[in-house]
Structure 1
Amino acid sequence: MSTLLVPARYYARLSEILPHHGVDPQRLLDTAGISITTLLQPDGRLPLSDVERLVAALIATDAPSEIPFALGKLLSVSAHSVVGFGMLSSPTLDDAMRFVARYFRLVMPSFRMRYSSTPNSGELLFTPAVAMSRACLEFHLEVIAMAALRDIEDLTGGARPPTRLNLSIPIPPHRRLYDTLSRVETRFAASGAPHARLELHADPRARPIRLADPNALKVAEQRCSALIHHVAEVRRLSEWIEMTIREMGEGVPTLGELSQMLNLSTRTLNRYLNREGTNYRKLAGAMQFELACERLTRSAQSITEIAYVLGFADPANFTRAFRARAGCSPKTYQQRMRLTDPDAPLPPPV
């Protein structure tokens, strides 16, 4: 079981829901071996093992299946502490989504968030970052999906764009509740890689945020940066960088660009990474390869397009770098993965 610590504040909100469904919150916590004091601390954190026991204890009470649905709907943007502050201070919905994706590890470190947008749409993708039981996974996917819908609702002042929600969970007994969501089409799938995906059918950049404040946004950036410094102090900066690059989903930044994003000097960033026994060149190469494999498997982009997206000025350099790691060309890799996954998009011409 992972030793990861997750914010306790979200689970504390169960006390507002459970009594309405005949469940005693204190008895549930006692069964899970969790102290109410920990839940009520502003910066309280729970080991993932405690969260697993909490979910298992909740299921054992025969409480209604819609508890995670209700919990997610209860979590407003302000529930995300300093990250929520930054979201509310962002100029547009697009900026807010990029902000939370960048700092999602401060929101729910057991999951990853990736965000991308076009002039006509936006996509939020949530996937697990650590191993957990199926029951715990499905509980959190539903909570995260509903919380994301609530975030968008809050940020747009109730003008949430038409959205398609894809959840990799079986159709729940409370399916009817999803039908009540305004402008949301929900699809369930019990098979495939675990995820929650929200597809926004409108330009997020054209959705201004009423409380946008550049000075407040700067303060939020500084506070999140301070938390990143703390991550570095406990020898996890390399993991943070890997997750940040994954969540960007659009190539690998240069050392200078990353330093600016993290509000660290390149010298300080290198010192932290050296202390962890690595360097940025090694990390960037590994992440470029990981993103290349993902795009070759799942994207409909050509190999040339993938090379440019990943920051290669010449597709031939991309082919050489990929072959050095994979032992085959990008084209061969793409063909092999197509054979193992018939549902993957057909590759376009190079």
Structure 2
Amino acid sequence: MPAPRSRRRPVTGTTVRVPARYYARAAEVLLRQGVDVARALRAARVAPERIGHPDATMRLDQVEALVADVVAQTGRTDFALDVGRALKLSSHSLVGYGMLSSPTADYALRLAARFFVLIMPSFRLRYRGGVPTQLHFEPTVRMSPLCLHFHLEVLAAAAHWELRELLGGELPAYELSFSMAEPPHVARYAELVGARPRFASESTPGVRLRFAHDFGARPLALADPTSLRMAELRCKELVHKVVAVGKVSDWVRMVLRESGDGMPTLVELAHTLNLSPRTLDRYLVREGTGYRALLREARQQKALALLDGGQMSITEIALELGYTDAANFTRAFRREAGVSPSAWRTRGRTTS
């Protein structure tokens, strides 16, 4: 009988770079709270004198090390909410300047969605005006669960406070929906007045703000056509210089891993990236893989986690992973692990 394959965790890439200015602001917030920021920066291998430079960037693996060290130091899971509140529209450089100079809230949010790659290259913002008005933040690169959940909460808190700033301090009530499970600090969401948080309610990784009220036509106090034209022109120039350094296959792996309600299809994944399914498949083939291979990998990882959890039957796990019955699941699992699901579970119990 072949030996079971090792239970390896996905390894995040080291090539994705994000603006350091947001983590410099996070360092300021944490320093005021007594966190040893110098230690966290050392853990992330980031030079303190570089993080505050306007053009400085950090690799995503450095960000993950920074977040992990702060959690290890403090034992806190809620500091992302403090970081999000500390961000202002002016924190986003030219994009924020363009938003403040926009004639209406709708124009400002459309501008933010167009140029969100300049704010946070590891995420995409989808905006839809009207009723309901929606802002949907989705990751575009692969990252660890801890790092993903940190960024989802930062984005949610930042969107709340920045929309209040944009609208002159008034923000309609809204639904705030996360893909992640309810955090231990859920009570702190009462600080986001008007938000109705819902957890594990998005089927793919991300966070969504949904307003029943259409506030897009509201004029903005600092509207300035000349400043807006200058900001947009400069943003377009910068976007042309942006180089996509993250692997498409890494992003697909992360979405499949984090999906909480079945597995997204190739068509659904392509739609998220504004690609045709054929183009997305071609990108994956170019990287030496394919959707079906990544789907098998993700299903196997989820199967291992569910089997080790011990709370669900083999049939329940099969249905959870999208198989039509337990027999199909057993055959697929045996091909990957070399043993049946029940044998894997029994081995885990005898070695624990």
Q: Distance in 1 between matches of 2:170 and 2:36?
A: 36
Shift of 1:138: 0.4
Matches within 5 A, 1:1-350: 1-118=13-130, 120-189=131-200, 192-231=203-242, 287=274, 289-290=276-277
Q: Which is bigger in relative contact order (C-alpha 8 A, separation at least 6)?
A: 2
Shift of 1:56: 1.5
Contact persistence 1:164–1:198 (CA under 8 A)? yes
Gaps of 5+ in 2: 1-12, 249-269, 281-321, 324-352
Q: Distance in 2 between matches of 1:82 and 1:290?
A: 33
Q: Distance in 1 between matches of 2:15 and 2:28?
A: 28
Q: Which moved more, 1:179-188 or 1:80-89?
A: 179-188
Which whole-Å deviations, capped at 9, do the CAs of 1:319-348 have from their partners, x for residues lacking one?
xxxxxxxxxxxxxxxxxxxxx69xxxxxxx
- In structure 1, the residue matched to 2:308 is none
**Partner-residue secondary structure (3-state), 1:61:** helix
Q: Distance in 1 between matches of 2:213 and 2:179?
A: 23
Identity level (%):
42
Q: Distance in 2 between matches of 1:135 and 1:129?
A: 16
RMSD, aligned CA: 2.8
Q: Distance in 2 between matches of 1:107 and 1:79?
A: 9
TM-score between both structures, scaled by the size of structure 2: 0.65
**Partner-residue secondary structure (3-state), 1:86:** helix
Gaps of 5+ in 1: 240-282, 294-339, 342-350
Contact persistence 2:85–2:158 (CA under 8 A)? yes
Q: Distance in 2 between matches of 1:203 and 1:191?
A: 22
Q: Distance in 1 between matches of 2:190 and 2:212?
A: 18
- In structure 2, the residue matched to 1:334 is none
Shift of 1:180: 2.7
Contact persistence 2:178–2:202 (CA under 8 A)? no
Q: Distance in 1 between matches of 2:125 and 2:142?
A: 16
Hey, which bits of structure 1, 4+ residues long, moved more than 6 A? none
**AA at the equivalent of 1:100:** A
Contact persistence 1:92–1:204 (CA under 8 A)? no
**Partner-residue secondary structure (3-state), 1:125:** strand
Q: Distance in 1 between matches of 2:180 and 2:30?
A: 22
